[in-house]
Chains A and B, each alone.
Chain A
Amino acid sequence: MLIKRSEARAGKQRLAAAYAGLSAGGLDRRAFLRQAGLTGVGLSALGAIPLTTVRPAAAGPTDFAQPITRIKNVCTHCSVGCTVTAEVQNGVWVGQEPSWDSPINRGTHCAKGASVRELVHGDRRIKYPMKLVNGQWQRMSWDAALAEIGDKLMAVRQASGPDSVFWLGSAKFSNEGAYLYRKFAAFWGTNNVDHQARICHSTTVAGVANTWGYGAQTNSYNDIRNSKTMIIMGGNPAEAHPVSLQHVLSGKEMNRANLIVIDPRFTRTAAHATEYVRIRPGTDIPIIWGLLWHIFENGWEDKEFIRQRVYGMDDVRTEVAKWNPQEVERVTGVPGAQLRKVAELFATQKPSTLIWCMGATQKTVGTANVRAYSILLLATGNVGKEGTGANIFRGHCNVQGATDFGLDVTTLPAYYGLDENAWRHWSRVWGVSYESIVARFDSPAMMTTPGIPTTRYFDAVTLPRDQVQQRDNFKAMVVFGHGGNTVTRMPEAVRGLEKLDLLVVADPHPTTFAVLANRRENTYLLPICTQFETSGSRTASNRSVQWGSQIVKPIFESKDDYEALYRLAGAIDAAAQKRNMPFRMQAEMFQGFEIKDNAPTSESILREINRGAISTGYTGQSPERLKLHMQHQDKFDLVTLRAKDDAPPEIRGDFYGLPWPCWGKPEWRHPGTHVLYNTNLHVKEGGGTFRARFGVERNGVSLLAEGSFSKGSELTDGYPEFTTAVMARLGWDAELTAEEKASIQRQGGTASWATDLSMGIIRVTMEHGVMAYGNAKARANAWNLPDPVPVHREPIYTPRTDLIAQYPTLPDRRGFRLPHLGQSVQNRSREVAPNFPIILTSGRLVEYEGGGEETRSNRWLAELQQDMFIEINPQDAAARNVRDGQWVLVQGPEMPRDKQVRVKALVTERVGAGVAWMPFHFAGWFMQEDQRGKYPQGTDPIVLGESVNAVTTYGYDPVTFMQETKVTLCQIRAA
């Protein structure tokens, strides 16, 4: 036997070839290029392009003889915000090291985070711009592509108006990219701009913001360590946010906490629960009301908290009274004793937190679900303290930031909305006149009308023109960083895509948009780099903002979002000039930014955000402060996220990542807000109150807090949000500096705290320990919503047709410029249910993300999930003669009658009898058609499969048009 290395014989490489599949190591960029060339590119084509623009990807072993640079960025997958530490040599990303210093991930990753280096290997990335010519992909230069796109956009604008272009953005943008994209849509003159939050947590944002002020996670992943009881309902963070489980399980262990999982599916998270409650999909509100029934029945509610800080709880009591244990069990299938136990734990073993994800939100009753969840927290006094709260786990790495910056059809950046005041505020921030922005729109009315969301874009293409409340249907669609298989009713989407005059996909990967429809012309692919190849900030789910530094330069010919948008604006201007149209974008839109290398710098964009995003407190997070936080990550406490006493003075006392709201100017050193609405802290220290967004009284009842206020407040009762008028009444206007007064004067003499560009109102109120946004009650009754107090409504496609009469969905209505069907579809359930007896629900796999195009192209991830599958209960499988691992055909009620999707059966008790589950990350097969050949050569993802959304059906939340992906019906048979 050999012993140790003393017998080492170096350099025996003759057998190394047997180890096939390894990339040849130790190459610098140029050597890699010489050796590898580019897949699918002829040499002649290569010769035409200067080498410097065709940056190849390379990887290999670390050469220890050469210096290694360590660069920190943030994982581009989920919203946990794990720091990624890259080792870079010669401009090549050679290794990934654990990021021990990050208080969020403490060195760890999930499968996706541990494999992000592959993204800049880029084996399957788009390498250069392309367009479809007679159904074939053809290479082109950036300039030519942008010129053609600009020209076609202007043609659409000329013929159909600005609202006929749909600008679909991405939760994978940096904050700066998201902000720029929203601004781009505004300067184009439309509100038809949206992103993934629509299909992820739009209902959360709407529901939570309507309850207590802000649509975001109230606490943080780290803070869960303080909880004594956790309910995870409609979420599977073990697969969707694996690193969050580090905090959840640590909390569970340290506090011997109760971990209750309420879900139709026995998930990987449920495996670690102390109590698992299996419910029928689509019955969240009955479950919550069932819990509250026990809580009210036994007097477990927090009466003092309700008295001081909650409006309308009595209306909830009335509704809850209907949900006695018998009715709850009849509707949900959960026995009363189990719910009583859960209710007692949640209400009495405090602090308690409620964690939810898309199981709650992706429903026709999504907003109502979220409202019910929030009400449960309010009733038990579990908001605004450590260890409590609505711990809403967002989806993509920057879905929180992209939402905050208004990639949304209903609002401008920072939730200012679309009214005239909002437009005036942002016009001031942008340094342009309000009138000049109005001129960019079809009409002032369209400017204040919410646009058409991504869940319905294809309806806006295919519906008769008179059904779409704007000048014309959608004619063009520009997609930045978004998969085409993420939206329900894909057979309809195909029809819509085929009818578009122009489709532009700007992404690191072609995405399903590029292959789904049978388009032959007018389709462009622009290679965009990942966030690892550029710099910028991103906001994690807990509102912490983290700065990512560029690890390597964009590979191949890809560009970052900033450059792509800057040049696209220029191309539009050129096209307008050619058409003799006065319309221009670039000069005005980018005037405030520092332009370097044909792109605005991320720092300068963030500084503009800091000036304008006052309402959400995105003003204190200057690039300098964020970079300092990344540099000194190890100085932040794991549980409180606060920089410790040994931290450098410039960050000492800050919360990690300056979680918004971080009030005022960066130099004021507001520490950020770790726990929202926390009255135990001074507002200068990150304390807060519920926001006064909805007036001061309703039907004679005060909406302001009673006897509750944040620590050190000079006002010891509720108060409205601050305006110059309120300031004057309190005599505090005298404390404004001359400069601040002048600034307010310049903007017309009056301002609210959120539109006061000098931020003087915030400064003065904070000096008085007062929250500028007011101190109100949270609303258990949100009168402006379709259901002010949430009520149970059966899913549109329900197997329980016996419950439709008692719990019908909403009647048909209109919203977001489109018709919105409700009861007329639900009434079909009676005929549909007998033929489609299995409830189909969908969810996430840990290896993949979103539409999955990026992760299915990553060979380290793709190997782990090679087939699209459907989970079937053994009972249902036996009835259908289906064996584990066998191919089955799945059909949905809205699919063409002769079409099915072909997937593998996974026979498991994870799902209950009568329920099936499919992951939503697959695409590339469409109703048994293999579309691999339609991808540009060399860019097809390694793993393809049927999309669950080929099966999913109609159904939208009335408030946000969130799609219904969690409850529909299907039939399964052996293939």
Chain B
Amino acid sequence: MARMKFLLDSDRCIECNACVTACKNEHEVPWGINRRRVVTINDGKPGERSVSMACMHCTDAPCAAVCPVSCFYTTADAIVLHDKDLCIGCGYCFYACPFGAPQYPRIGNFGSRGKMDKCTYCAGGPQADNTGAEYIQYGANRIAEGKLPLCAEMCSTKALLAGDGEVIAQIYRERVQRRGYGAGAWGWRTAYRETVAI
């Protein structure tokens, strides 16, 4: 099976936020929940780079490791998903996540954060694929339709790549070779404990 990954080429990312609104559009993500976001480092200075970030679907995912109720599971495509019916909204995954991916529907005093929500890699949740129940809790399930996450598909400059790790790494490698520079595959070391060797 493919090992699905995200790869962000920060030499291409222009902080256009298409990934963010595509995600909102595809899953009707409510206001205040940011499954994906774009962060700009070195803002306004030479070397400024923007990076689109969401759940990276880590290898040996920290969220899954620390979840007190063990509500996470990994699909055969290595997509890290969780079961909202099991989630107790404790916030541990947010402490552990290196990317700030977990989101909570409410501000959350007294632990009333509600069920954790995060990027599903457009792969829905544990319910039957593409049912109304799945959509309401997790959003669309494009993977089950044979499509890739919409954020990457709609990325204006094709900075955000999604798909089989081997394939997207190869695309990135070729790109870097052709242009002669590359700022590295953002988050890969942290998420997958590897980097794209050029």
Contacts and interface: CB of A to CB of B under 8 A. Distances in A.
Determine if chain A interacts with chain B: yes
Interface of A: 1-5, 7-13, 15-16, 18-23, 25-26, 59-64, 95-96, 98, 105, 107-115, 117-118, 238-239, 242-243, 245-246, 249, 252-254, 256, 266, 268-269, 271-272, 276, 846-847, 859-861, 863-864, 908-911
Contact of B155 (A108, A112, A256): A108
A428 B4 CA distance: 63
19 contacts: A2-B70, A8-B126, A11-B127, A15-B85, A18-B84, A20-B114, A21-B33, A61-B140, A108-B154, A109-B18, A115-B25, A239-B15, A242-B14, A242-B157, A243-B157, A269-B14, A271-B50, A864-B20, A908-B43
A863 B105 contact: no
A864 B17 contact: yes
Contacts of A60: 28
A846 B32 CA distance: 19
A1 B84 CA distance: 14
A860 B24 contact: yes
A11 B133 contact: yes
B48 A111 contact: no
B132 interface: yes
Contact of B44 (A1, A9, A908): A908
Contacts of B175: 253
B135 A98 contact: no
B7 interface: no
Contacts of B158: 108, 246
B170 to A, nearest CB: 16
Contact of B24 (A3, A115, A268, A271): A115
Given A9-B85, A242-B156, A266-B45, A2 B25 contact: no
A10 B64 contact: no
Nearest to B135: A61
Contacts of B105: 18-21
B16 A110 contact: yes
A2 B73 contact: yes
Given A114-B25, A246-B156, A18 B127 contact: no
B25 A860 contact: yes
B179 A1 contact: no
A863 B44 CA distance: 22
Residue with the greatest number of chain A CB neighbours at <10 A, chosen from B24, B70, B76, B84: B24
Given A11-B127, A238-B16, 4 more contacts: A15-B84, A96-B25, A108-B154, A114-B22
Given A9-B85, A18-B115, A61-B132, A111 B179 contact: no
Given A23-B28, A95-B26, A860-B24, A2 B83 contact: yes
A864 B24 CA distance: 11
A271 B130 contact: no
Contacts of A110: 16-18, 156
Contact of A10 (B76, B128, B140, B178): B128
A108 B30 contact: no
B190 interface: no
Interface string B76-95: 10000001110000000000
Nearest to A17: B136
Contacts of B155: 108
A12 B133 contact: yes
Interface residues of B, number: 65
Nearest to B15: A268
A5 B140 contact: no
Nearest to B34: A863
A2 B133 contact: no
B75 interface: yes
Interface in B1-54: 11-12, 14-22, 24-26, 28, 30-33, 40, 43-46, 48-50
Given A12-B133, A108-B157, A22 B30 contact: yes
Contact of A861 (B11, B21, B71, B135): B21
Given A1-B73, A9-B127, A108-B155, A846 B17 contact: yes
A908 B43 CA distance: 7
A13 B138 CA distance: 11
B136 A64 contact: no
A853 B64 CA distance: 43
A62 B21 CA distance: 18
Contacts of B156: 105, 108-110, 242-243, 245-246
Contacts of A96: 22, 25-26, 150
7 closest Cβ pairs, A-B complex: A21-B30, A111-B17, A61-B135, A242-B16, A910-B44, A253-B179, A115-B21
Contacts of A252: 179
A20 B105 CA distance: 7
Nearest to B37: A864
B44 to A, nearest CB: 4
B102 to A, nearest CB: 14
Contacts of A863: 24, 31-32
Contacts of A253: 175, 178-179
Given A1-B64, A111-B18, A12 B45 contact: no
Contacts, number: 207
Contacts of B45: 266, 909
Contacts of B115: 15, 18-19
A9 B83 CA distance: 10
Contacts of A861: 21
Contacts of A113: 18, 154
B164 interface: no
Given A242-B156, A863-B31, A18 B135 contact: no
B135 A7 contact: no
B52 to A, nearest CB: 11
A271 B50 CA distance: 9
B156 to A, nearest CB: 4
B116 to A, nearest CB: 10
A211 B156 CA distance: 33
A334 to B, nearest CB: 16
Interface in B128-144: 128-133, 135-137, 140
A5 B126 contact: yes
Nearest to B155: A108
B146 interface: no
A26 B64 CA distance: 32
Given A249-B157, A268-B15, A16 B21 contact: no
Nearest to B113: A18
Interface in B175-190: 175, 178-180
B49 A62 contact: no
Contacts of B128: 5, 8, 10
Contact of B18 (A2, A3, A114, A117): A114
A61 B140 CA distance: 7
A9 B135 contact: no
Nearest to B180: A256
Nearest to A942: B31
Contacts of A242: 14, 16, 18, 156-157
Contacts of A276: 46
B30 A118 contact: no
A25 B131 CA distance: 11
Contacts of A20: 30, 105, 114
Contacts of B180: 256
A26 to B, nearest CB: 6
A18 B45 CA distance: 42
A1 B157 contact: no
A902 B133 CA distance: 45
A118 B25 CA distance: 8
Contacts of B19: 114
Contact of B11 (A26, A111, A272, A864): A272
A7 B16 contact: no
B41 to A, nearest CB: 10
B183 to A, nearest CB: 11
B192 interface: no
Given A113-B18, A249-B157, A256-B179, A266 B44 contact: yes
B151 to A, nearest CB: 9
Contacts of A254: 178-179
Interface string B55-80: 00000000010000011111110000
